[in-house]
A and B are shown apart, each in its own frame.
Chain A
Amino acid sequence: MPPRVTFQPCGWQQNEDTPLSSEYDFALVNIGRLEAVSGLSRVQLLRPGSLLKFIPEEIMIHGRDFRLLRVGFEAGGLEPQAFQVTMAIVQARAQSNPAQPYSGITLSKAGQASGSRKPPVPLMETAEDWETERKKQAARGWRVSTVNERFDVATSLPRYFWVPNRILDSEVRRAFGHFHQGRGPRLSWHHPGGSDLLRCGGFYTASDPNKEDIRAVESMLQAGHSDVVLVDTMDELPSLADVQLAHLRLRALCLPDSSVAEDKWLSALEGTRWLDYIRACLRKASDISVLVTSRVRSVILQERGDRDLNGLLSSLVQLLSAPEARTLFGFQSLVQREWVAAGHPFLTRLGGTGASEEAPVFLLFLDCVWQLLQQFPADFEFSEFFLLALHDSVRVPDTLTFLRNTPWERGKQSGQLNSYTQVYTPGYSQPPAGNSFNLQLSVWDWDLRYSNAQILQFQNPGYDPEHCPDSWLPRPQPSFMIPGPPSSVWLFSRGALTPLNQLCPWRDSPSLLAVSSRWLPRPAISSESLADQEWGLPSHWGACPLPPGLLLPGYLGPQIRFWRRCYLRGRPEVQMGLSAPTISGLQDELSHLQELLRKWTPRISPEVHSKKRDPHTILNPTEIVGILKDQFHPFWITRC
């Protein structure tokens, strides 16, 4: 088991079904702050390596995921243990090197599954996965390239990706060399209306490509369209350092003893700039969705590294424009494809390597998704609880999904992992056979860490599939590949399109992204959203001014909300007594009534239906403190 602190309530047993996690689990990497408390006034902040000065009555573990675990040690002979336990945690933190790779996981569950186990979500590690997905998107002008099969084009790229049909692998290899870290243009998503959404790294300006290379690069960017829009994704969005700073400030603000007065709360919240960054992201994603939807064109997301904001924007654009991405399955595939397979450096960004480049871009993304969920409660199949579960999973060191920086590292590790998974389990003495990929567990194996009751809550009861996939009937688009140079090339920046003379920077003009912009507030003049520019008078869309399936999020100050259930979980006075999400309350009542009805129907023998867990059961404490569960929330830890 990876190093962790866990609290086991009295009578708690290792659940066979969810072997990996209990709700009171804190991975050591997740511990943001450890405090020992004695009496009313003595509080000691325990850093790795510090020495405990007194016998604690209580320890408080503040998670970096905003959770809070409070463990009280009741008087009566437990003092020595209290001291020992606390010191043990302190020492374990001091010893655990975040960069040290985990040697593997003991997965009895893995053993149970036979070799043919299929991951719940395609991990995009095989060419078949990519081909299936390509067909699903009906991206006819595209093919799966195997040029990076041995990670020799770029270790941060997946083994397989999509390139235009007509481009040869040799051309791909050469063209990719002219991009930052070898991350050339690849298809992210094919819009059923015909547009293509691409992503790539910055042009490698030091290189001196020959004419043929330039042509290859250009036709890859053009992707057969005559209208090409380059989107500078770093423009107007926060830098990595900005994101990190905002997140740190947010965490400080949400600590239970945060000293911010209640009447100053709003400006303190504003001061973190976290919400500001969220709306910058939503605004940009909304603009790009309009670009992709309003005309048939090639839209290229370009970020120097192509591993952070590109993933964020491309995922958001798909969530806004593709109803499939808003299903539970679709969203998980999206994250797997645009973040995990695309090489978002999770380990570094989440502080796993201790390096300076920590920046929770993925958490920023999750908050953006939560905002969408708030704004469009009927359009998403998954619920807030699912997002919370995902939020809490990023630092849980059970699966490799979020613990590696590149697909290459992940691939290496999963090979190793295979040997560790051959664990002896009483029921299944036969060691599992089959290839390593099939056995690899991912974060999407929710049943490893969450109970069935919790997983049921991942579904959004308000999801109204009426607007969704069925109504999404795109007109089949004749696949046309226009030879020759594009007729119009645009740069999308600061909410407006400006024409460009050429796509690549190498011929005569200075590099586009050499003048990479820092994040700046949008000037007030360009206040009109792109949607208004494009669809000012939506006569051609009749009563509903937007194409079906497209969501345009609100991104005004009052519309961006604070994700209270996530960030304020550590505050005991806030987490209690929230009213139930009314629809799920209703659904509970509905199922309860159906159950009753079934009982009353004489034909069916009355089953003993498993009663819902009493929401206020007090688990009897082994050690000391009873932990009261909040009735509405399966994932947070509550004080007693």
Chain B
Amino acid sequence: MASTWSSQIELTTLSLCSFLICEIHTNEKEVTEKEVTLHLLPGEQLLCEASTVLKYVQEDSCQHGVYGRLVCTDFKIAFLGDDESALDNDETQFKNKVVGENDITLHCVDQIYGVFDEKKKTLFGQLKKYPEKLIIHCKDLRVFQFCLRYTKEEEVKRIVSGIIHHTQAPKLLKRLFLFSYATAAQNNTVTDPKNHTIMFDTLKDWCWELERTKGNMKYKAVSVNEGYKVCERLPAYFVVPTPLPEENVQRFQGHGIPIWCWSCHNGSALLKMSALPKEQDDGILQIQKSFLDGVYKTIHRPPYEIVKTEDLSSNFLSLQEIQTAYSKFKQLFLIDNSTEFWDTDIKWFSLLESSSWLDIIRRCLKKAIEITECMEAQNMNVLLLEENASDLCCLISSLVQLMMDPHCRTRIGFQSLIQKEWVMGGHCFLDRCNHLRQNDKEEVPVFLLFLDCVWQLVHQHPPAFEFTETYLTVLSDSLYIPIFSTFFFNSPHQKDTNMGREGQDTQSKPLNLLTVWDWSVQFEPKAQTLLKNPLYVEKPKLDKGQRKGMRFKHQRQLSLPLTQSKSSPKRGFFREETDHLIKNLLGKRISKLINSSDELQDNFREFYDSWHSKPTDYHGLLLPHIEGPEIKVWAQRYLRWIPEAQILGGSRVATMSKLLEMIEEVQSLQEKIDERHHSQQAPQAEAPCLLRNSARLSSLFPFALLQRHSSKPVLPTSGWKALGDEDDLAKREDEFVDLGDV
């Protein structure tokens, strides 16, 4: 077996510096000359390293692995082992150009454990004793195990304390790798490739969005916060109801004013508001009250629809709940060894349920459907209320838009939505992901929760989305790659101020930070085809000549599940309706709910059932199923690194090539028909060729491709040991059929 192990035991001493001084010392050039295999990004510096580290390929009782160097830079922890990545050119096409298979960005490290005398302990702070084995749990759910038994003692000390220091010690924002990278790569990335994602950092972008959604009749984009004069929490530009005086915005630093998110075709809009600061003093409370009264008066008058306030701070999820649920949930997938895995496997469903992560997803989706119902069926405005309007507000409002607005289901639209609601909406990515390690707390994965909710929608209605689940998975991974500015600031204000100052110090022009939406930074064009859903149902071509606004209106009207768009939300009307429906349609299940006399539930149920009883228009309103069996585990993200979970030659990938073939045929036939019909131009056929001629892929595709190749050695267990002892082994060898030669 030993022959298959690669031994990269380098006895020649390298210029190793302790992690503390090397930050000053290390010359990037020198390092690259000595070690070709370590690929450094611009601005990246090697901090410490250790050789003869054994990386376990798959943990079990035997110690099988690959020898190599473990390296820690200011960007990542990397293991440089045998050149196994060169094994298969075919399969490595979905390689991330920034983060390699054995790279862990420092921000991606979740927990570090050390094994001392077979005991696993969490590592933090100053260590008195150094472990024999290092286990790293990553936020993208990879688990790395490094055996340090064969490494020199001083190297162990350096690498372990270096890794702990650089992943756990609190960091200053300015020390983020983001800035060193941007400074160093300044010259390289001059051209911003044509990227249609709307960033919402200009007034024009907001006006465009207003026009697109026909919200410009009742809402206006304002530049009152230009230069962040009013407050640092809000973006420079945003949208408010037209009659709202601009002084109101300044009054409480942007608190207590309704900010527009999105307008529905029927005129109703989704608004958000951050709550006014809590005050004890009666006088101030009076002032607040009269201020709010004034604000409500403006938006309660015609032409504005009736407003329903949805307080997300109370009676809904708390951030604490989300955090607890996720940390329980992810433990199901962070598996150190197969024994542990099989232990949990038996109780899989109850463990899954007790984490209540899926239930939280269900509650979010349900809330979004409720709001959709108000807007779509009852023609009401919905005002989301939250302390800072930057956590659950972002989540719920994005989900509502995803369900109601087909534009958000295109890739560009989805990216613009995230820009609008999350990045410009001031979601505190830096704090929620705990990128700066400001406290011992784990991350609060609100954005991840959102992506998981989106995945449920994508999974249930694949043809409605232009992007694939792989897209969502790599997007979730990008949260931890500190070369993109998108997810590394708490607010647009924080980003702008930090960019500017750096610029003054060194050069005249401001830093050019990368956005995650530039996928070419991470993936080759071929790999990017996997992010695009080949089965996406394109919009009907007839609309081509029509005006944009018209098109949207037309399409959404087609899909209305309940067409009383003009009806007022009179209760009596719905009462009658429900009675009739209950008798003839919905039966006992509903009658149970009715008896609870919850009017809101009635409307919700009716809306939900009625939508699901009709055929789906992928360019219209889209609702998820939220019953128990329908909320599922995002298998691609959570199971992709578990070798036991792979199905060789199986899963969706298996039908992919057939699918692509058929798509091509459809397209060519379509072209032929078009030729005969008119001399109209056919759409570009764009079938990904990545999967062509591929042998049997595993279900883990496109992640963790090489797991099987380097998996375990033949291991005698009780039965096989006996076989080895017997002396007629040779005879048996003769009759062994090598099907591989066939």
Report which A residues bind B (CB closer than 8 A). Answer: 37, 40-41, 43, 57-58, 60, 70, 72, 193-194, 226-227, 256-257, 260-270, 275-276, 293, 295-296, 375-379, 462-464, 467, 473-475, 477, 487-488, 490, 496-499, 521-522, 524-528, 532-538, 540-548, 551-554, 556-559, 562, 564, 568, 571-574, 576-577, 579, 582-583, 585-587, 589-590, 593-594, 596-597, 600, 615-616, 625, 628, 631, 639-640
Please report the C-alpha to C-alpha distance between residue A193 and residue B741 in the assembled complex, in whole angstroms.
12
Kindly list the 3 A-B residue pairs having the minimum CB-CB distance in the complex, ordered from nearest: A265-B628, A557-B348, A497-B719
Residue of A nearest to B716 (CB): A533
Q: Contact check, A583 vs B655: say whether CB atoms are below 8 A apart.
A: yes
- Is the Cβ of A639 less than 8 Å from the Cβ of B585? yes
Since A464-B657, A528-B338, A596-B673 are in contact, a sample of 17 more A-B pairs with Cβ atoms closer than 8 Å, ordered by chain A residue number, is A226-B731, A260-B628, A262-B359, A378-B655, A477-B737, A496-B717, A497-B722, A536-B711, A536-B712, A536-B713, A548-B739, A551-B650, A552-B648, A556-B644, A574-B629, A579-B463, A586-B663
Near A by CB (< 8 A), chain B positions 696-723 give 696, 699, 708-709, 711-715, 717-720, 722-723
In the complex, 6 of the A-B residue pairs with CB atoms within 8 angstroms, ordered by the A residue number, are: A256-B588, A265-B627, A266-B353, A462-B658, A546-B696, A586-B659
A582, B659: Cβ atoms closer than 8 Å: yes
Instruction: Give chain A residues whose Cβ lies under 8 Å from the Cβ of B359.
Output: 262-263
Report the separation of the CA atoms of residues A564 and B741 in the bound assembly, to the nearest whole angstrom.
Answer: 42
Of all chain A residues, the one with the shortest Cβ separation from B643 is A532
| Interface residue B496 (Cβ < 8 Å from any Cβ of A) | no
Residue of A nearest to B720 (CB): A533
Closest chain A residue to B626, Cβ basis: A262
Tell which of B629, B657, B739 touches A541, judged by Cβ atoms closer than 8 Å.
B739
Task: Report yes or no: B349 in contact with A266, Cβ–Cβ below 8 A.
Answer: yes
> Is B539 interfacial (CB-CB < 8 Å)?
no
- Bound together, the chains give a CA A568 to CA B735 distance in angstroms of 49
Which residues of the other chain, A, contact B696 by a CB distance below 8 angstroms? Answer: 467, 544, 546
A405–B613 Cα distance when bound, in Å, is 42
In the complex, what residues of A have CB within 8 A of residue B718's CB?
496, 498
Q: In the complex, what residue of chain B is closest to A534 when comparing beta carbons?
A: B714
CB distance from B87 to the nearest CB of A (A): 8
- Quick one: given A270-B348, A577-B614, A597-B673, are A537 and B713 in contact (CB under 8 Å)? yes
CB contacts (< 8 Å) of B582 on chain A: these are 40
A554 touches B699 (CB 8 A): yes
Question: Is B352's CB within 8 Å of the partner chain A?
Answer: yes
Q: How far is the CA of A338 from the CA of B495 in the complex (A)?
A: 69
Task: Name the contact of B589 in the complex, choosing from A43, A257, A526, A583 (C-beta under 8 A).
Answer: A257
Please tell me if B577 contacts chain A, counting CB pairs below 8 Å.
Answer: no
Q: Which of B35-43, B445-453, B664-672 contacts the other chain? A: B664-672
Residues of A within 8 A of B4 (CB): 537
**How many whole Å from B464's CB to the nearest CB in chain A?**
8
Contact partners of A577 in chain B: CB under 8 A: 611-616, 625
Task: Check B654 against A296 for contact (C-beta < 8 Å).
Answer: no
Asked if B732 and A270 make an inter-chain contact with CB atoms under 8 angstroms apart, the answer reads: no
Residue of A with least CB distance to B459? A579
Instruction: Evaluate contact between A293 and B628: CB separation under 8 angstroms.
Output: no
Q: What residues make up the interface of B, taking CB atoms closer than 8 Å to A?
A: 1, 4, 60, 88, 338-339, 341-350, 352-354, 356, 358-359, 362, 460-463, 535, 582-589, 591-592, 594, 609, 611-616, 625-630, 633, 635, 639, 644-652, 654-655, 657-659, 662-663, 665-666, 669-670, 672-673, 676-677, 695-696, 699, 708-709, 711-715, 717-720, 722-723, 726, 728, 731-732, 735-742
Are A256 and B654 touching (Cβ within 8 A)? Answer: no
CB atoms of B673 and A376 under 8 A apart: no
Q: List, in ascending order, chain B residues with CB within 8 A of A467's CB.
A: 649, 696
Q: Within the assembled complex, what's the spacing in Å between the Cα atoms of A557 and B459?
A: 19
Q: Which of B356, B589, B609, B728 contacts A256 (CB 8 A)?
A: B589
Nearest-CB distance from A82 to chain B (Å)? 14
Residues of B within 8 A of A587 (CB): 662
Q: Which A residues are CB-close (under 8 A) to B645? A: 554, 556, 558-559
CA distance A570 to B462 in the complex (A): 25
Contact between A554 and B650 (Cβ–Cβ < 8 Å)? Answer: yes
Q: Report how far A485 CA is from B485 CA in the complex, Å.
A: 73
Q: With the chains together, A25 CA to B247 CA distance in Å?
A: 71
User: Across the interface, which residues of A come within 8 angstroms of B584, CB to CB?
Assistant: 72, 625, 640
Contact B587 A70 (CB under 8 A): yes
Q: Which of B627, B652, B712, B723 contacts A262 (CB 8 A)?
A: B627
Q: Is the CB of B353 within 8 A of A267?
A: yes
Closest to A579 in B: B461
Q: Among the listed B460, B673, B713, B728, which residue makes an inter-chain contact with A600, where contact means beta carbons less than 8 Å apart?
A: B673
Are A600 and B717 in contact, CB atoms less than 8 angstroms apart? no
Interface contact A487-B728, CB-CB below 8 Å:
yes
Checking A268, A487, A559 against B647 with a beta-carbon cut-off of 8 angstroms, the contacting residue is A559
By the criterion CB–CB under 8 Å, are A497 and B720 in contact? yes
Among B348, B633, B714, max chain A CB count under 10 A is at B348
CB-based contact B714/A537 at 8 Å? yes
CA distance A475 to B738 in the complex (A): 9
Q: Which residues of B contact A263 (CB under 8 A)?
A: 353, 356, 359, 362, 628
Q: Are B616 and A579 in contact (CB under 8 A)?
A: yes
The distance from the CB of B636 to the nearest CB of chain A, in whole angstroms, is 11
- Asked whether A574 lies within 8 Å of B345 as measured between CB atoms, the reply is no
A524–B648 CB distance below 8 A: no
Q: Which chain A positions have C-beta within 8 A of B611? A: 577
Contact of B719 among A276, A490, A583 (CB under 8 A): A490
State whether A536 and B669 are in contact (beta carbons under 8 Å apart), knowing that A40-B582, A296-B737, A556-B345 are contacts in the complex: no
Q: Within 8 Å CB of B588, what residues of A?
A: 37, 43, 256-257
Q: How far is the CA of A22 from the CA of B342 in the complex (A)?
A: 46
Contact A541 B740 (CB under 8 A): yes
Chain A residues with Cβ under 8 A from B628's Cβ?
260-266, 268
Question: Which residue of B has the minimal Cβ distance to A191?
Answer: B737
| B625 proximity list for chain A (CB < 8 A) | 574, 577
Identify A499's interface contact among B342, B348, B712, B722, CB under 8 A: B722
Q: Is the CB of B719 within 8 A of A270?
A: no
Q: Which residues of A contact B714 (CB under 8 A)?
A: 533-537
CB atoms of B649 and A546 under 8 A apart: yes
Q: Is the CB of A376 within 8 A of B647?
A: yes
Contact call B635/A379, Cβ cutoff below 8 A: no
Report chain B residues within 8 Å CB of A522.
Answer: 342
The answer to whether A543 touches B587, judged by C-beta atoms less than 8 angstroms apart, is no
- Report which of B585, B658, B739 forms a contact with A378, defined as CB distance below 8 A: B658
| Contact for B742 among A60, A474, A536, A545, CB less than 8 A | A474
Q: Is the CB of B635 within 8 A of A295?
A: no
B499, chain A: closest CB distance, angstroms? 43
Please measure, in the bound complex, the distance between the C-alpha atom of A434 and the C-alpha atom of B657, giving whole angstroms: 49
Closest to A589 in B: B666
B662–A379 touching, CB < 8 Å: no
Q: How far apart sit A86 and B731, CA to CA, in the bound complex (Å)?
A: 73
Contact A488 B732 (CB under 8 A): yes
| CB pair B654 A558 closer than 8 Å | no
Please indicate the chain A residues that have their CB under 8 angstroms from the CB of B676 in the complex: 600
Q: A269 CA to B353 CA in the complex, in Å?
A: 11
In the complex, what's the smallest C-beta–C-beta distance from A279 to chain B, in angstroms? 9
